[in-house]
Amino acid sequence: MAEHPGGKCLTCGTQTKNRCAACGKAGIDLFFCSPECQKTLWVGHRLFCGRHAFPPLFPLLQPDESRLVRTKMYAPILRGDDGPTSIYDECLVHWYTRPEAEHAVSALVEGSAYDREQPGARGTSHNQRVLIVLRMALCLQTTESDRNDILSALSEKWYRLLCDGVFPVDVRDTTREQAILFHHIVAVVTLMRVNGQSAVRDRESAMRGFQCQFRMIDYAEQHISEEASEKVSANVAPAMHGFGGILRKIVNR
């Protein structure tokens, strides 16, 4: 068997042949150059590592997350054209009636009767969209939970990129390149959370986060399209938006 050519470490960008074995089994090549780099991203990567890496499937809500979503889904937390609006008003109303939405927030929960009876249901296109929208209700607040904060930030990014046509409406149509782009976004969001939490926001971790954002934008440009890379930088790394060309010159020098 030909040796795998390798790729760039998701955390630090070093060229390596150390592939994430669990994600490899799911048909997607993701790389970590060292146990330290794998450990740095693990809090985020573990949520999608393995059989849910490709296509990337968001996990069901945990019972406490479901309770939190229920308290926020009708609250006016988004800025709509006609003033403040809720996640429910903005998005869910297109797919669901109110009783159906209330059913979903109880059903799409780990260990619920629905989960026990239909264990594969999490992966349907419809349920994934609903999960993403429900989680967005939590995207403006930070909680004690890394898992909750990372997943709600990712839901918001996924939803915006879905609206912009970077990700498909049906998650089962996700290409391998789109899935790898998503794992780059997971890395960026995870580093933001990890760096934001560290007591000392040192230069080194700020630089690591910045380079991770750059690699994500670069991946989108090299493997998807220039337009996709524009959308990704605008939605996921707004501070970098518009600087792509300049940054490339600096980084490649």
Q: Which residues bind Zn ion (CB under 5 A)?
A: 9, 11-12, 14, 20, 22-23, 33, 37, 49
Please, are residues 126 and 95 in contact by the beta-carbon 8 Å criterion? yes
Q: Which of residues 43 and 121 has its CB atom nearest to Zn ion in the complex? A: 43
Q: Which of residues 11 and 127 has its CB atom nearest to Zn ion in the complex? A: 11
User: Which residues lie across from 19 on neighbouring strands?
Assistant: 31
The distance of closest approach from Cβ of residue 40 to Zn ion in the complex, given in angstroms and rounded to an integer, is 8
Q: Which of residues 23 and 240 has its CB atom nearest to Zn ion in the complex? A: 23
Q: Which of residues 35 and 196 has its CB atom nearest to Zn ion in the complex? A: 35
DSSP characters for 49-61? -GGGBTTB-PPPB
Full 3-state SS string of 184-253:
HHHHHHHHHHHHHHCCCCCHHHHHHHHHHHHHHHHHHHHHCCHHHHHHHHHHHCHHHCCCHHHHHHHHHC
Backbone angles phi, psi at 19, to 5 degrees: -95, 145
What span, in angstroms and rounded, lies between the C-alpha atoms of 177 and 172?
Answer: 13
Please, are residues 43 and 18 in contact by the beta-carbon 8 Å criterion? no
Please, are residues 29 and 37 in contact by the beta-carbon 8 Å criterion? no
The distance of closest approach from Cβ of residue 54 to Zn ion in the complex, given in angstroms and rounded to an integer, is 10
Question: What number of helices (H) and strands (E) belong to the chain?
Answer: 12, 4
Q: Which of residues 93 and 206 has its CB atom nearest to Zn ion in the complex? A: 206
What span, in angstroms and rounded, lies between the C-alpha atoms of 60 and 112?
Answer: 10
Q: Which of residues 107 and 171 has its CB atom nearest to Zn ion in the complex? A: 171
The distance of closest approach from Cβ of residue 52 to Zn ion in the complex, given in angstroms and rounded to an integer, is 10
Tokens of residue 119, six digits: 């264990």
Residue 5 Cα to chain centre, angstroms = 26
The distance of closest approach from Cβ of residue 19 to Zn ion in the complex, given in angstroms and rounded to an integer, is 9
Q: Which of residues 104 and 191 has its CB atom nearest to Zn ion in the complex? A: 191
The distance of closest approach from Cβ of residue 135 to Zn ion in the complex, given in angstroms and rounded to an integer, is 21
The distance of closest approach from Cβ of residue 31 to Zn ion in the complex, given in angstroms and rounded to an integer, is 8
